[in-house]
């Protein structure tokens, strides 16, 4: 009985140690001169990691120029935290036809 009780306490402690908000980060791939997915939805405070799968250099640059990954070579990653709710449009400065949107929802 005592062992089972201690096991239950240990399990509760383990669950409590994992913050409820922890989840895998959102990932946008850059593939074949496109952001995949082109529209990513996250919550305020979440981060998005952009991964360049192409053998071409790309950037991830806010349309309002508030942030910029600068050049990402093949297999390079860049992470940005989206603190405020709203739709954030971005593009690649090397290929202006490449566009993406991160839709940031308010945390309830």
Q: Which residues bind Cu ion (CB under 5 A)?
A: 58, 92, 94-95, 98
Nearer to Cu ion, 19 or 96 (CB): 96
Query: Pairing relation of β-strands 61-62 and 46-52?
Result: unpaired
CA-nearest of 69, 61, 72, 70 to 99 is 61
Closest CB 27 distance from Cu ion, rounded Å? 17
Which element (helix H / strand E) includes 103? strand 99-105
Closest CB 53 distance from Cu ion, rounded Å? 12
Closest CB 65 distance from Cu ion, rounded Å? 16
Nearer to Cu ion, 46 or 102 (CB): 102
Closest CB 78 distance from Cu ion, rounded Å? 13
Nearer to Cu ion, 82 or 91 (CB): 91
Nearer to Cu ion, 26 or 92 (CB): 92
Side-chain half-sphere of 82: how many Cα atoms within 13 Å? 26
d(CA 54, CA 66) in angstroms, rounded, equals 25
């Amino acid at each position: 009985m005592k062992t089972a009780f201690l096991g239950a306490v240990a399990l509760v402690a383990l669950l409590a140690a994992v913050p409820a908000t922890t989840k895998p980060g959102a990932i946008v791939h850059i593939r074949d001169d496109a952001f995949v997915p082109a529209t990513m939805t996250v919550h305020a405070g979440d981060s998005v990691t952009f991964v360049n799968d192409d053998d071409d250099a790309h950037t991830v640059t806010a349309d309002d120029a508030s942030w910029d990954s600068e050049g990402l070579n093949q297999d390079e990653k860049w992470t940005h935290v989206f603190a405020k709710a709203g739709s954030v449009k971005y593009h690649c400065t090397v290929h202006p036809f490449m566009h993406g949107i991160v839709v940031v929802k308010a945390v309830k």
